[in-house]
Structure 1
């Protein structure tokens, strides 16, 4: 029987990352991997995931913000780090001090960054972001508005070294005709930008456009890097979404909690806030030490989410509390305080997945994993 680490904890199978990277590489050929470790590597631990990816030959990392980039630097990761989001002006100095690459969210932003770099007499590394359809950040380049002059202007700024260019797919996970046409047209637009840069005698630098579903559904597009996030963690956003490939991923995260109390309740007795569960027969109830403040969504309360106790599926009952929740363990013999409950992972012959939680919470695995909070220790899986 697995012994407890804490009241609740996550175990990360670091060794499985190498297997997942190999599965990604099969899909993208010679395209290199930029490991996306933003949001604490989607809740898996940014530093430990980055170090495992480095061992697999990954030499480029993507983060959301300057603090995430600095976290990697402070952990001794000196490889290329690209900030995919916005950095405030007061933090511009970190970019050149720590050799961090900034994405250019707009031409005006690039000009502001260039003015700062001129005053400091430094060169700041950057990637040009092109908006081919996401409508989030970057210079718009679409059929309705092709702002090529603005893209050229970014490359010509005196103190910004634009050493790469990228875009992003909003519907690469959808295989209906309209979505596929939209994504394929994004690729055409991106290639058009690259061709125009080259016609102006400008080397576009590192080219990347594929997110996780762009990898799964569009294979090797011939660009320099791809940007997997969840894939090297062994999961997709939604298990029910059809994909064009058949990778053999291994989920690297398991989630556990302790049983803190076991009791019998009689018919008519209720469980938890709101009294949404009322026992219809004598019921053995176990309290486990995890709640919505740990990242188990309150939205899955009373939706028959199952966890594993002694390898047997047991349903959650009543509303999930901030720090605790209750499960019906009537079908399990010898449950006692201190027993380990498996919320995500395998116990005995049974398995429960993060996707089961996400489906009942009506969200995607990206959000469910990212919401596992910092008070849940991330431990390396015991082999």
Structure 2
């Protein structure tokens, strides 16, 4: 039995990242990995994950913003860092000062960045973002609207060093016929852009297209890099979605909380706000020290979600509160204050997955992980 560390905490096995990276490499063969560590590596620690990925030979990292890039630089990460999102003009100076690569979200943005670079007599490293169907950022290149001249212009801007090109899949996780055809069309459009660049004597640079589900369902694509995020953490966005491959991932995160009180309630007594649980028989109730302010979704309330106490499954009862919630431990012997409750992970012969939380909360694992509060300590453990 684990000893309690705090009121609530996570344990992260960064060593398991090596195993998960090997599983990714089995799929993509010679394609290199750009480790996506945005949003504090989906809540699991950007610096720790980046350093674990470096040990696996990963030499490129993807983040969403300049502050995330600077956090890696300040931690001593000197490998290539690509900002996948928007950097405001007031922060352009960091790009050349810290040798950070900026994605070009539009031709207007590229012109603005080039004007800054020219005025300051610097070169700024960039990747060209092509919108092949996500309709989020990038120069549009879709079947009905092809802005190839804007892409040419980006590569020819004198003070930008455009050394890569990428696009993004919105439905690579779906194997339905319509979604598959949409994704295949994106691949065709992306390759078409690359061929057109080459026909103009322009080197497109490094190419990257596969996100996590692009890796799982289209591993045969042979670009220079792919962009796994959750995969190296041992989970997918939704474990119930059918995929074409069968990797053997190890989830790197588990989550725990303390039992703070155990007491009996009797028929007619209710639990928590709203009185949504009313006991029909004598019930032993344990309060555990975690709530929605810690990142446990309030939508789990009264849905039959189960946690593990002494290796036995126990249901959450009543509404989940900001800092606490209650579970039915009637069938578990010797439960006492200070006992460890497993919310995600293994205890005894049982397991609870983050996907079970996400499914009941009607969301995906990406949101569940990134919602874990900063007040929940992330503890490093070894395999």
* TM-score, with length taken from structure 2: 0.99
The alpha carbon displacement at 1:120 in A equals 1.0
> Which ranges of 4 or more aligned residues in structure 1 deviate by more than 4 Å?
none
Is 1:30 equivalent to 2:26 in the alignment?
Answer: no
Q: How does 1:212-361 map to 2 (within 5 A)?
A: 212-361=212-361
- Secondary structure of residue in 2 paired with 1:286: strand
Residue equivalent to 2:373: 373
Separation in 2, partners of 1:166, 1:206? 8
Native 8 Å contact 1:101 1:124 kept in 2: yes
What's the RMSD between the two structures over aligned residues? 0.7
Gaps of 5+ in 2: none
Separation in 1, partners of 2:203, 2:256? 50
Residue equivalent to 1:161: 161
1:11-50 deviation digits (Å, cap 9, x = unpaired): 0011110000000000001000000000111111111000
Is 1:84 equivalent to 2:97 in the alignment?
Answer: no
- Secondary structure of residue in 2 paired with 1:293: helix
1:272-328 deviation digits (Å, cap 9, x = unpaired): 111111111111111111110110000111101000000000000111111111111
- Secondary structure of residue in 2 paired with 1:85: coil
Native 8 Å contact 1:301 1:320 kept in 2: yes
1:74-120 deviation digits (Å, cap 9, x = unpaired): 11001000000001111111111111110000000010111111111
Q: How many residues align?
A: 383
Residue equivalent to 2:208: 208
1:137-190 deviation digits (Å, cap 9, x = unpaired): 000001101100000000001111100000000000000111001101100100
Is 1:63 equivalent to 2:63 in the alignment?
Answer: yes
Residue equivalent to 1:107: 107
* TM-score, with length taken from structure 1: 0.99
Native 8 Å contact 1:276 1:319 kept in 2: yes
The alpha carbon displacement at 1:382 in A equals 4.8
Q: How does 1:139-154 map to 2 (within 5 A)?
A: 139-154=139-154
The alpha carbon displacement at 1:220 in A equals 2.6
- Secondary structure of residue in 2 paired with 1:261: strand
Native 8 Å contact 1:31 1:220 kept in 2: no
Separation in 2, partners of 1:315, 1:301? 10
Separation in 2, partners of 1:80, 1:52? 15
The alpha carbon displacement at 1:4 in A equals 1.5
Separation in 1, partners of 2:343, 2:371? 15
Separation in 2, partners of 1:70, 1:381? 26
Separation in 2, partners of 1:121, 1:273? 62
